[in-house]
Amino acid sequence: MASVNAWLAHRAAKPGAFLLAALPLCWLVFAAFADRLGANPAEALVRATGDWTLRMLCVVLTVTPLRTMASWPALARLRRMLGLWTFAYAVLHMLSYSWFDMGLDLGDIAKDIGKRPFILVGFTALALLLVLAATSFNRVIKAMGARRWQVLHRAVYVVAGLALLHFFWMRAGKNDFAEVLVYALILALLLGWRLRRFLNKKWL
């Protein structure tokens, strides 16, 4: 375990994690240019960027439990970068929807957000992610104070819940809930770990 933490503390760990997080995007760009996105490339891009947003959210939320249980404190070095990648995939998801589904028509996008609840929920999650991304830098943390910053960034669990609800509503139309249940279980376990830790501290 100590060797893993030493590797995570190595200066190559951040570039390595950055490249791993970028791999799905690189594949999507390649697949788009190589015509490997199937019969409906637009839908494939919208769905893939949304899927990777949810996956990256799960990865970010796993950092603290894994760091604590495995005694890998150096893992915390990667959390901010992974969080920013989550935001990047969320932005790409929104851009894909706005471009391919709505033709970048702001009026139609606004109407669609107000008309369809699952779009509104997804947009709300993106807005919260924007706040978290904008306040993830050292200068902002110092200005806010560590305590207030930590309270604000617990909103990532709200983002995860909204993202899961967005995903559920999207899949409900096709009566396909298998993946939804997988993500729901992962997020429930991560939230349960956090809640148990909070209650243990409160009762001690």
pLDDT at 204: 44
* Of 118, 114, 115, residue with least CA distance to 93: 118
- Residues 131 and 137 sit within 8 Å (Cβ to Cβ): no
H-only helix segments in 145-177: 146-153, 156-172
- Residues 125 and 163 sit within 8 Å (Cβ to Cβ): yes
pLDDT at 151: 87
Q: Which residues contact 153 (CB under 8 A, 6 or more apart)?
A: 132, 135, 136
pLDDT at 202: 55
- The secondary structure element, H or E, covering residue 173 is none
Stated pTM of the model: 0.92
Q: Which residues contact 58 (CB under 8 A, 6 or more apart)?
A: 160, 183, 186, 187, 190
Give the C-alpha separation, 53 to 65, whole Å. 20
Per residue of the chain (204 residues), what is the pLDDT tens digit? 568 888 888 888 899 999 999 999 999 999 999 989 888 999 999 999 999 999 999 999 999 999 988 888 888 899 999 999 999 999 999 999 999 888 888 999 999 988 999 899 999 999 999 999 999 988 988 888 888 988 888 899 999 999 999 999 988 777 778 889 999 999 999 998 988 887 777 554
pLDDT at 167: 92
